[in-house]
Amino acid sequence: MSAARSLSPADAGVSDLYAAHWHGLVRLAYLMVGDTTLAEDIVQDALVAVHQRWGRLRDSHAALGYVRRTVINSARSALRHRGVVERYVQRTGADEATESAEHLALEHVQHEEMLAALSQLSDKQREVLILRYYSGLSEAEIADTLDISRGAVKTHAHRGLGRLRTLLASTGTQGRTTVKDRDGE
């Protein structure tokens, strides 16, 4: 009991965030980057960042939004880095061990078709759908996390769902994996 009382506000706040949101944040990062280890690293770095800035947060209740935004931005950076590496491998003909390791990791995913279809969406469509359907965020929370308007969230969600339906129908998986729009579309 005395150890719990000696925690700083930052330690207590980040501990609470970790306990309540670790799995959802890792799932969010994983859906963005397709690599469990990288996803865990991204979330860990985001929690460290919020811990370091805890005293400067205007509202400690907004810490989860800050962590989500940091996870999204870090995942974007990781994807940009992956693109640079892939272009380097193609240009130089270097060993493609990186690609095969990623492929092995993705083989263990139950819904490979969904991940493949998500990867064919635009970045914003994919991010909006992941935040909406896998992280369960509201339009307002998504808009805040991605720093876009609620109208843009609706547009990206609508177009992304339409594209997903088309992609999944072409692979014959629409009956097994359904994407339902919360607005009844």
Query: Residue 35 sits in a domain of what CATH number?
Result: 1.10.1740
**DSSP string of the chain, one letter each residue:** -HHHHT--HHHHHHHHHHHHHHHHHHHHHHHHHS-HHHHHHHHHHHHHHHHHTGGG-S-GGGHHHHHHHHHHHHHHHHHHHHHHHHHHHHHHT---HHHHHHHHHHHT-TTHHHHHHHHTS-HHHHHHHIIIIIS---HHHHHHHHT--HHHHHHHHHHHHHHHHHHHHHHT-TTTS----TT--
Judgement on whether residues 89 and 158 belong to the same structural domain of the protein? no
Judgement on whether residues 6 and 69 belong to the same structural domain of the protein? yes
pLDDT in single tens digits along all 185 residues of the chain: 445 567 888 888 888 889 989 999 999 999 999 999 999 999 999 999 988 888 887 777 788 889 999 999 999 999 999 888 888 878 877 655 555 555 555 454 445 778 888 889 999 999 999 999 888 889 999 999 999 999 999 999 999 999 988 987 876 554 444 444 444 43
Judgement on whether residues 135 and 91 belong to the same structural domain of the protein? no
Judgement on whether residues 84 and 122 belong to the same structural domain of the protein? no
Q: How far is Cα 91 from Cα 122, in angstroms, rounded to an integer?
A: 25
Judgement on whether residues 81 and 145 belong to the same structural domain of the protein? no
Count of domains forming the chain:
2
| Whole-number pLDDT of residue 63 | 87
Judgement on whether residues 140 and 54 belong to the same structural domain of the protein? no
Q: How far is Cα 111 from Cα 106, in angstroms, rounded to an integer?
A: 9
Structure tokens at 65: 């939004």
Judgement on whether residues 95 and 11 belong to the same structural domain of the protein? yes
- pTM value is 0.56
| Whole-number pLDDT of residue 111 | 58
Main-chain dihedrals φ then ψ at residue 23, nearest 5 degrees: -65, -40
Judgement on whether residues 86 and 166 belong to the same structural domain of the protein? no
CB 42 within 8 A of CB 78: yes
Judgement on whether residues 80 and 12 belong to the same structural domain of the protein? yes
| Whole-number pLDDT of residue 92 | 77
| Whole-number pLDDT of residue 105 | 52
Judgement on whether residues 79 and 137 belong to the same structural domain of the protein? no
Judgement on whether residues 86 and 157 belong to the same structural domain of the protein? no
In a domain, 183, yes or no: no
| Whole-number pLDDT of residue 172 | 56
* Residue that is last in its domain, among 109, 138, 155: 109
Judgement on whether residues 114 and 104 belong to the same structural domain of the protein? no
